[in-house]
Structure 1
Amino acid sequence: MTNQVTNTPVFRDLQADDPDPETTEISSLCFNCGQDGVTKLLLTKIPFYKEIILMSFECDHCGFKNNEVQSGDKIQEKGALIHCSISSLKDLNRQVIKSDYATVKIPEIDFEIPPQSKRGEITTVEGILNRCIAGLEQDQPVRKALDPDSAEKIDAFIQVLIETKTLKKPFTIVIDDPSGNSYVENVNAPLVDPALTTTYYERNKEQDHLVGIYEEELNEIKEELKEIKEEDEGEEDDKNIALADEVLHFGTNCPSCNAPCETNMKVTNIPYFKEVIIMATNCESCGLRTNEVKSGAGIADKGVRITLRITDPIDLSRDVLKSETCSMSIPELDFEVGAGTLGGKFTTLEGLLGAMKDQLTGHNPLVCGDSVTDTVKERMKVFNDKLDDIISGKVMGNRIILDDPAGNSYLQNVYAPESDPEMEIVYYERTFDHNEELGLNDMKLENYSEDN
């Protein structure tokens, strides 16, 4: 075995001149001749796409060879449902990332591509239609000889797909991905795209099984946690006091390069707000530094919408807690980012705006890479200039709106405990859709330990 345990990224960038690709060799049984062959594994990354595992088998005895590629993607906490209206050639050229688990539908023509019918891919909306047309045409000569009626119906449907591709009528493409790893390009980035909506949902039991998560294992963990809670119930208060003064350390993998690193976790109390859990990761391999914040008090009874008008550069130094369920918008820039875009963060308003800019530009090649059109680049430059003016304090009067249905976001009131004249906080009742996204509609609140 040539791969050694080192403090280097597990999934490395794919480079032709890499002097040490760190392959792993494993002795494997050859299914062709029954002798021992060699399987080589290479963990790498396709630029701007995802992590993959390349496997190559070769048998020296019979000469049999086989190659295979498997996804190394992480399964997201929630599934993603993407709706995109296609009405122009620009829409047909939208870039699409489709994972192995994604189902693609076009409701107007009652068309569906089931999950795992092909490997995950990077393509465009037009590319999806072209692949479907080519796949249906592939076996038509044989089909016409064996089953002329079916072949005629398929020819008719191929014509429907061709008409759809030529935009005789607008249509909608729907991507339902339980793994949460699919994506459709926002052609108006960084502005809101009215033709594109993405919602995140809690997976059901069948979707968990599809992505390899099984409820039985979760139930076992819940039972273990329940037993621990019952044993330690009398000492819970003392433990909470000790935990509040202690920084916990645990090993994990870097979210950027997947190298082993350490995450620090601490429970803290934000004045005039609530208890939160702060987690910070520092990777020595790639230099990535991240911090993530989660509520220590669960989901609040009501959602919260916080609006701050920036009237002084000192406003940018306000502490802000943005939970992973919170969306953020700047109406003066016609800009909005959905929940989960930046994850949970505890920083200053300046730091939050800077992280948002990095997410949009430096970490998003689909809006600033080599394949982006000059129009998008110019639009991004104009937006970045306006955002830089806000971050530097040159332009005042812009509003920052934090909308969190879970009620776990916070913006510092510098006049506390008095009211802040430049900040408005509104608590509201969640809608059915809000509760659906938070997984509350199907939650059993009474007799939860009993079987249904």
Structure 2
Amino acid sequence: MAAGGAVEPGPPGPAAVSSPAPAGPSTAGHLFRPLSAEDEEQQPTEIESLCMNCYRNGTTRLLLTKIPFFREIIVSSFSCEHCGWSNTEIQSAGRIQDQGVCYTLTVRGQEDMNREVVKTDSATTRIPELDFEIPAFSQKGALTTVEGLISRAISGLEQDQPTRKANEDAIAERIDEFIVKLKELKQVASPFTLIIDDPSGNSFVENPHAPRKDDDLVVTHYSRTLQQAEMLGLQAEAPEEKPEEEDLRNEVLQFNTNCPECNAPAQTNMKLVQIPHFKEVIIMATNCENCGHRTNESETCSVEIPELEFELGMAVLGGKFTTLEGLLKDIRELVTKNPFTLGDSCNPGQSDKLQEFSQKLDQIIQGKVKAHFIMNDPAGNSYLQNLYAPEDDPEMKMEQYKRTFDQNEELGLNDMKTEGYEADQAPQR
């Protein structure tokens, strides 16, 4: 549809309707006929109506039509032959859609200016390049073109310019400058963006390539907000409140277990903790009041201190949530209080070596001697805090690697079967 043939709305329509004239050919067969300029049988229904300008009878024409790849609409036009007053508008013949719709069109040439547009009363029209917006319910609905929308905006701004120039000349000059920019848009010297956002879902921008995709047109469907639903006169339903979920991060869970050492009844404490810049971990600790045994989960990390020629295999210290100082003190306690390194069972000179090891470890703990601390966890579940996070820590190096066969064997992964086990367990016939 060319811009000159666009259907443009005017002032409010008739307030009273008298008896309708006989229906035209458009009511025969299908009630809504496809919109087509070549369909000569597509005639409007004429109704004699009261003109609200001169209070004499004029004529209202109703056309029930269907826009291809869109939906049915009612185009109404009123004209009075006595005073010349006219008015045109469109209404959706369907219900308010389940979702709102937003059309974003990049206008690149005159072909885009001639695209058909259905703009309902509830639609908001924006041109971001000019910071220009036509709010919802500020205009009647229209069946027009992109060029027709811009022409309509120009006409609306020009309508009260004589009054503005008489009373507010500065504002009138700024509006004149803006009108010039709108007229330049019609020449499409450079691409611009047209956005039509309609919470009712009944607006439409033509895709001339339909049913193929239009690269210059983006159509987005969205759920209406409560404010948009109220604006459309719909019953606004507040979103259902979901029951509050238990926040395990703020609670320590306890359950009864048996001590793995003496089999006496014991309690295991469990807590979910979010470690910054790492992940969520579950800390579990079992304390036995009968024998004093304590145990933790996730014992897959080995520790190495090259300066002391010291290496501690995985599952020796057990899983811990502690500081580096606390871990070093646990290592010192584990090594120096080992019964096989004390008393009559120790080898000659071993006590002196342990004493020397303990002194060097104390110097490292006190920060008097620098040393490297290496944690190697094939399960990938260990963590050492980065004080510079999210930036890199210049004192720390983190390396990810692919596990070896032996490491997978220690973790029990080599014999773990995750595919096809159902078929293996099927009964043989």
Instruction: Pick the TM interval, shorter chain.
Output: 0.3 to 0.5
Query: Which structure is higher in strand share?
Result: 1
TM-score after normalising by structure 2: 0.45
TM-score after normalising by structure 1: 0.42
